[in-house]
Amino acid sequence: MGVFNRFSEWRNERYKKKVTEMQSKGLCPDCRGSGLSMWTLNEFVHTNFYDCPGCNGSGLFTDWEDTSEYNH
């Protein structure tokens, strides 16, 4: 189980680093500030773009922080 725990810890630390980086830039971590999200079938077929559910399409970190369940 040690390998799975280390992988989980690595993923969590990586996500925390991404959130901290996006916070310093003021951008939504989910869409990287674009305000858009898209559903991808594979690397060649893309569907329509939708407003990012994390920031409701604004691309701002403050909006993402209000709607996310992420705890600092």
Per-residue pLDDT reduced to its tens digit, 18-50:
999 999 999 999 898 888 887 666 666 666 778
Tokens of 37: 């999200």
* pTM of the predicted structure, to 2 decimals: 0.72
Local structure of 36: helix, strand or coil: strand
pLDDT at position 68 is 79
